[in-house]
Amino acid sequence: MPTTKCKDIIDYWVRREDECGLSVDWAEAHERCWRCGYKSVLHRCHIIPDSMGGPDEPSNLVLLCNRCHREAPNVNDPRFMWIWIRAYGTSFYDTFWWIRGYEEFEKMFKRKPFANVDTQSISQEDIKAAMQIAIQSATIHFGEGRMNPATIACVLYQVEEAFLNKGT
């Protein structure tokens, strides 16, 4: 039975890892994922996997959202977890998965989003309105709570398209 409480895990890491460069402020470590920084139901994620004998102790656990938990490294070597978490540090909350969406867009369409749109001439309100319409064609995987990067990439493409059609 898992016995280590989230509070014990936080207390342990607050004293050992600098919050500078992380996606989460330590003050909110109990409700935001340590890798993506989004408000989420947090899972206790083993650094050395349970199945490889990793102990149920604060030193071997971090708190991650469902999606980050699935993407985390599963290796019998404790050096990598924090390198991985830090590699994705973002300065602002609720941007992480949109940054991933932009990267996914570049992968799919071989260019940056909005490269062919004159963004100077579009107001924030117009962007928001186009986003609302595009989001209606998207859905969220059960239990995820938010759009995944590929879905965001498609939504961005549709928003772009809306502006291109308007311009012609």
Judged by the rule CB under 5 A, the positions of this chain that interact with Zn ion are 33, 35-36, 65, 68
> How far from 131 is each of 23, 35, 61, 63, 160, CA to CA, in Å?
25, 26, 38, 31, 9
Looking at the Cβ atoms of 36 and 62, the one nearer to Zn ion is: 36
Of 17 and 126, which CB lies nearer to Zn ion in the complex structure? 17
- Axis-axis angle for helices 124-135, 149-167 (nearest 10): 120
Of 35 and 100, CB closest to Zn ion: 35
| Dist. CA 32–CA 65, nearest whole Å | 8
Q: Could you tell me the two tokens for 66?
A: 């469902």
Q: How far apart are CA 103 and CA 146, in angstroms?
A: 17
Q: Given the complex with Zn ion, which of 35 and 46 has the nearer CB atom?
A: 35
Least separation in angstroms between residue 76's CB and Zn ion is 23
Q: Taking the complex as a whole, how short is the minimal distance between the CB of residue 24 and Zn ion, in angstroms?
A: 9
Q: Please state the closest distance from residue 89 (CB atom) to Zn ion, in A.
A: 12
Distance CA 156, CA 115 (A): 12
Closest approach, Cβ 4 to Zn ion, in A, equals 20
List of residues 6+ apart from 74 with CB closer than 8 A: 49
Q: Least distance from C-beta 92 to Zn ion, angstroms?
A: 15
- The smaller minimum CB distance to Zn ion, of residues 36 and 130, is found at 36
